[in-house]
Structure 1
Amino acid sequence: MGSTEVDNEKFDHEPKDKYLLVYAVFGFFGIIHFLPATFFVTAHDYWMYKFRDTTSDIIDSSHRTTLQAEFSASVTISTHVTGVLGSFLTLFFGHKLNVHFKLYGSLLIIVVLYVIAAIFIHIDTDSWQTGFFVLTMLMVGTINTMNTVAGLTFFSILYKFQPDYLGPYLNGQGVAGIFTSCLQLLSLAVGISTTKSALVYFWVVIGLLIACLLSLIAIGRSNTFYRHYNSKTTHEKAERRMMTWREFFSAVKSIWRSLAVLLFYLLVVNTTHPAITSLIVSEGEGQGDWNDVYFVPTTTFVLAAVGDYIGRFVTVKLKPLTNLDGIWFVAFSAARVAIFIPLIMLCNVQPRSHLNVVFPHDYQYILIMVFFSLSNGFLFSIGNLLIPKTVPPEKLEDAYQVNIMVAAVLMGSLSFLGFVSVQLL
């Protein structure tokens, strides 16, 4: 508490963020950093169409093709495994490149890959579904590698600013989920086709990525407040040394509570969402548009995204929470593993061959998702907000980088859980 007050007093004598432009751009990057992964998963109907049984016109949730049933889990694996690659590339080779070159370059590569993905919407892939599935996973993996590089690089900029500037980034990630899920719901409401809605998804994220890239370039060149805090970063080149193993383990020891919260958080998310939740079926399937068209987008994506954002927003605003002993958050995060994994797997998820449905009603699934998403947002923010409380300012950059690197390793090593959970149903 005391160290933060001292830091804020120091910042009082620095240039001001006029019109909160930098604050807004940091929030914008938070949105953009989360969009690439969420857009691929949220375009659920498009992928179900691409990997459908082309020999039959019957659409039956209990008889999905192998590619349909395993798509979300495969995206999770591809995303998280390549996150490890992005982390190691940045930490072991990234010091050879200018910070802004890494940030702008990785965002530009993501834009190019999304353009390629958008082009494939117009291409008939029915005759080579397996090949297209593999190609899609490669694109997802490369996008996430670049996204991880961008995230790690951004934190090397973010740590130089006032502690409050972490808030818009965290909230921006929550807004990304709401934005993508609401866009999906809107496309369904106006009745555009599955392929056209996917086209809207991809070109919207392309436009936002370009806008974010231009915004970052603009503040980097002309914003006095931004340039002041990044005077060293702007000229940072190959002379920046790598972190030693001693420094790495020292950072791990300092932020172990944040890492423990992250571990249990990822255990729950990787096992259930969206690998399991995207396969949920309304109890009234076949009885109308709400059950057949809107139920999954609304409950699995919109509701989950709104709950996640509320959890993040409230946590960022309730700063006294971060003064509590982090062990309480570790215990709460661990308890969720035993609560939410069985609750979600016992909902009306289809197809299933082994487990019985214990919670067949829609309202039961909705209640579970409300508490699941709120606690997700809460724990994600707490894990990040505890870091500045446990390390001195001069070690903050190392702590953030270690946190992201460990997160990537955990996501990669736990990514198989979604696939396993699907098989256990």
Structure 2
Amino acid sequence: MGDAKPLQPSLNSSYVPTAFSDDQVSDDEEIEDLNPSASLLPRHSSVPLAVHYTPEDSYCLVYIIFFLMGISSLLPWNFFITAKHYWLYKLSNSTVNGSDEKQHSDVSDYFESYLSIASTVPSVLSSILNYLLVNRLSPNVRILSSLFVILLVFVVTTILVKVDTSNYTVGFFIGTLVSVAVVSGASNLFTGSMFGISAYFPMRVSQALISGQAMGGTLSAIASIVDLAASRDVTDSALAYFLTADVFILLCIIMYLLLPKLAYSRHYMLSRTSLGLINEEEEENGAGSRTTVSTPPPLQPILRKTWVLGLSVFYVFCVSISVFPAVSSGIQSVQTDQSPWTTTYFVPLTCFLLYNVADFCGRQTTAWLQVPGPTSRLLPILVLCRTIMVPLLMFCNYQPRNHLYTVFFTHDMYPVLFNCLLGLSNGYLGTLPMIYGPKVVPRDLAEAAGVVMSFFLILGLAVGSAFSILLVHAI
């Protein structure tokens, strides 16, 4: 009999590793390129071949699931802000179902600004809570509980569509803002948790999550336009609109439950668990101390690596939310005829649909082009240049105008162009820092870094929403 040879695991096996070294954290090399020092385990020549093996993402299922999770993360916000005709109808003083004669008030005229405040303030608080819960509560609990809360609120919103609230306009307004606040807090907890677990995956998965967010806005805009075209009654249109959201959120819950069953996702998600096992082994061998997983992760080393990227994300979304949708949705066609284009479809098409399509294109571009890099000074410079979008949109045909009476851009093509530029730059310049952030820190801080980057994003939305109220009243 010959010498016994060590058994080598088959590359076609379904082996799932329980520990990772630098070589196998990603099936592409972008993590190493961005942070060569971010090691979880030291390199050993005795690491078995199976540990170096990464399962394939069969049929791109994991990519698709994260894309759907991205859609659902901003779907509630987009469905609320896109249904402008429905909110104007509900918040007007009209008592005739389907009547076009509505008496506008401050509540209806500035509803988008109130909506932004109700959305972003609880989001900031939930971002802080999410960071504190990173090591205390599993991502599954945070994500699934958030999705169920969102689904519950949307079911209630759907039911209220057919309820006559004409005599309770203020009560309906307050209830809507409370619903938005609850949904926003849950959505941000969900988004931050998804960004956290995506940090353990290659960049393509993080990019899928962010691109899905833009697709959520595109789908909501398309659904709104289709419902407006298919139904003449405002409430029938809104009922179909919100039912679409209910079904999609339920689909996302099912798809997330499928995620841990896929070998590709288990391969990367186990890195969080394996980190705890490694610390325990190091303690037993006297090589180190065991990390207390119930304490929040250290913030200072994360901010030291990501503060420029975080401020870039903050300013990108601050500028965007200051004019979208509070200002951009108030821009009307310069044509004075009462055609369906000017009365019904101008705002849904030129504001919501074009912006979200351009935003999606900008985010999707980062899958092939990632310039400038994470340490380039050009990135924050480009981010600052977006400030010009604020006066450009303010001097389009926004109505009503109480202070700035001059309209410089007196053609319908101007808001079309400006909204496309706003969305394209938001998608591209907002995505790059988000996918860079978790990759420039040590790997054991990647999940926390994803949550921190999400916090900068939400903080930018909060500050921008407050600024949007000033802009609307200034016009």
TM-score of the alignment, normalized to the shorter chain, above 0.5: yes
- Given the alignment of the two structures, is residue 49 of structure 1 paired with residue 49 of structure 2, yes or no? no
In structure 1, list runs of 5 or more residues that go unmatched.
Answer: none
1:349 aligns with 2:376: no
Which amino acid in structure 2 is aligned with residue 174 of structure 1? Answer: A
Taking a change above 3 Å as real, the CA distance of residues 217 and 111 of structure 1, as seen in their structure-2 partners, is: same
Unpaired segments ≥5 residues, structure 2: 1-29, 39-48, 277-290
Tell me what 2:319 maps to: 268
More divergent stretch after superposition (125-134 vs 377-386): 377-386
C-alpha contact 1:76 1:415 (8 A) present in aligned 2: yes
> Of 283, 292, 297, which aligns to 2:334?
283
Q: Which residue of 1 aligns with 2:112?
A: 72
1:107 corresponds, among 147, 160, 174, to 147
Give the C-alpha shift of residue 361 in structure 1.
1.5
- 1:229 pairs with 268, 276, 279, which one? 268
Q: Once the two structures are superposed, what CA deviation does each residue of 1:270-309 show, in whole Å capped at 9, x if it has no partner?
A: 2200011111111114331111111111000111111111
Code of the aligned partner of 1:230: M
Q: How does 1:189-228 map to 2 (within 5 A)?
A: 189-220=229-260, 222-228=261-267
Identity of aligned residues (%): 27
2:236 is the alignment partner of 1:183 = no
Secondary structure in 2 aligned to 1:176? helix
C-alpha distance in structure 2 between counterparts of 1:65 and 1:21, whole Å: 48
Equivalent residue, structure 1, for 2:3 = none
In 1, Cα distance between the equivalents of 2:346 and 2:135? 47
Higher radius of gyration, 1 or 2: 2
Q: How many residues align?
A: 416
Q: Is the 8 A contact 1:99 1:234 kept in 2?
A: no
Name which of 241, 248, 273 aligns with 2:294.
241
1:3 aligns with 2:32: yes
Match of 1:312 among 350, 360, 363: 363
Are the aligned partners of 1:304 and 1:370 in contact in 2 as well (CA < 8 Å)?
yes
Q: Which residue of 1 aligns with 2:351?
A: 300
Tell me if the contact between 1:285 and 1:292 (Cα under 8 Å) persists in the aligned partners: no
Tell me how far 1:392 sits from its aligned partner. Answer: 3.4
Q: Distance in 2 between matches of 1:270 and 1:2?
A: 31
Amino acid at match of 2:32: S
CA distance in 2, matches of 1:23, 1:102: 21
Closer/same/farther in 2, CA of residues 363 and 240 from structure 1, 3 Å limit:
same
- Alpha-carbon distance, 1:242 to partner: 3.0
Q: Residues 375 and 232 from structure 1, CA distance in 2 versus in 1: closer, same or farther, beyond 3 angstroms?
A: closer
Most deviating of 401-410 and 99-108: 401-410
Matched, 1:336 2:386: yes
Counterparts of 2:390 and 2:473 in 1: how far apart (Å)?
Answer: 14
2:464 and 2:413 mapped to 1: Cα distance? 30
| Structure 1 vs Structure 2 CA RMSD | 2.5
In the alignment, the residues of structure 2 paired with residue 135 and residue 10 of structure 1 have an alpha-carbon distance, to the nearest angstrom, of 55
Q: TM-score, normalised by structure 1?
A: 0.91
Aligned to 1:402: 452
Q: Secondary structure at the match of 1:126?
A: coil
1:39 partnered with 2:79: yes
Q: Give the 3 Å change call, closer, same or farther, for CA 295–375 of structure 1 in structure 2.
A: same
